[in-house]
Amino acid sequence: MKDEEVSSRNILNELNGAEWLYFTRSIMTTSYPSTYGHHLRKAHGANKPPQLMSQLIEFFTKPGARVLDPFAGVGGTLIGASICKKPREAIGIEINQQWVVIYQQILKEYQDQLLPQQLFCGDCLQLMAEMESESFDFIATDPPYNIHLEQTMSGKQRAHQHVNRRTIYDMRSDDPSDLANLPSYEAYLEVMEQVFEGCHRLLKPKKYMAIIVRNAYQHGEYTFTHVDLARRARMHGFIPKGEIVWYQIGTRLRPYGYPFAYIPNIAHQYIVILQRV
């Protein structure tokens, strides 16, 4: 393997051997400058760095590929596709108009620098059903992690203790199709199964899907959401291929269980990699 050259047999991306190897490590830390409309995007409590999303897109696609994000928020994936060395086309779906407006503001602010992508406002289950089968080369998304997390982070007690007025942790809209409004974790997993079914139909065979998930400690119990989601995806034609632990350096440590019990300070998220059969 020649480190500096892109292999002529490389059917997946345009990375050389060294770049390919570096990406395949299973732990990642990131530290990016606060650019690409970060001052606007940070209003969304779960926004993802466009630079991280572009790393994923550049590994899992070649130029000319089409990328889908069914839970697009303020557009981390869409901006990520635009800032790839050779930009890719990306389509996003977001149920909350408030976040769609922020993405549009960013496009206005960066009109000479960012390739504009399409962000549709609506329920991803409905809008995905209208899209053409096998029309995407990669899906990258972070769904609402689970309803408990959203409720806890926006819960009255914590909201007062850890107030951060510029960030909205209660990301729920009033729309009943918003996954964060589901009544239970089981109901969340069932709807995610429907989302995976839709993703399977839209993705070309053998192509990849990356799901970013944060696990949660709730009501005295730890939930392995990333495992639950990978298993549900497996039931709908996706083979689990691996996970990248995304270590969020700088996470503030809070004395949740001190000095009585072990309660983790969760300072990482998982990027679960699945391949469509």
Ligand X SMILES: C[S@@+](CC[C@H](N)C(=O)[O-])C[C@H]1O[C@@H](n2cnc3c(N)ncnc32)[C@H](O)[C@@H]1O
List of residues contacting ligand X (CB under 6 A): 44, 46-48, 71-74, 76, 93-96, 99, 123-124, 142-144, 171, 173, 177-180
CB distance 205 to 230 below 8 Å: no
Is 171 or 230 the residue whose CB approaches ligand X more closely? 171
Q: How far is the CB of 69 from ligand X (least distance, A)?
A: 7
Q: How far is the CB of 17 from ligand X (least distance, A)?
A: 30
- Secondary element (H or E) of residue 27: strand 27-29
Q: How far is the CB of 125 from ligand X (least distance, A)?
A: 6
Q: Which of 217, 88, 196 is nearest to 141 (CA)?
A: 196
Q: Which of 54, 60, 75, 83 is nearest to 142 (CA)?
A: 75
Q: How far is the CB of 258 from ligand X (least distance, A)?
A: 29
Is 65 or 143 the residue whose CB approaches ligand X more closely? 143
CB distance 184 to 62 below 8 Å: no
Amino acid at 38: H
Q: Which of 215, 243, 268 is nearest to 56 (CA)?
A: 243
Distant-in-sequence, close-in-space partners of 111: CB < 8 Å, separation ≥ 6: none
Q: Which of 110, 98, 130, 101 is nearest to 50 (CA)?
A: 110
Residue 259 preceded by cis peptide, ω within 30: yes
Q: How far is the CB of 102 from ligand X (least distance, A)?
A: 8
Amino acid at 126: Q
Q: How far is the CB of 173 from ligand X (least distance, A)?
A: 6
Is 178 or 197 the residue whose CB approaches ligand X more closely? 178
Q: Helix H segments across 33-153?
A: 38-41, 50-60, 76-82, 97-109, 124-129, 147-153
What span, in angstroms and rounded, lies between the C-alpha atoms of 118 and 257?
44
Is 56 or 93 the residue whose CB approaches ligand X more closely? 93
Is 67 or 72 the residue whose CB approaches ligand X more closely? 72
Is 55 or 96 the residue whose CB approaches ligand X more closely? 96
Is 73 or 199 the residue whose CB approaches ligand X more closely? 73
Q: How far is the CB of 76 from ligand X (least distance, A)?
A: 3
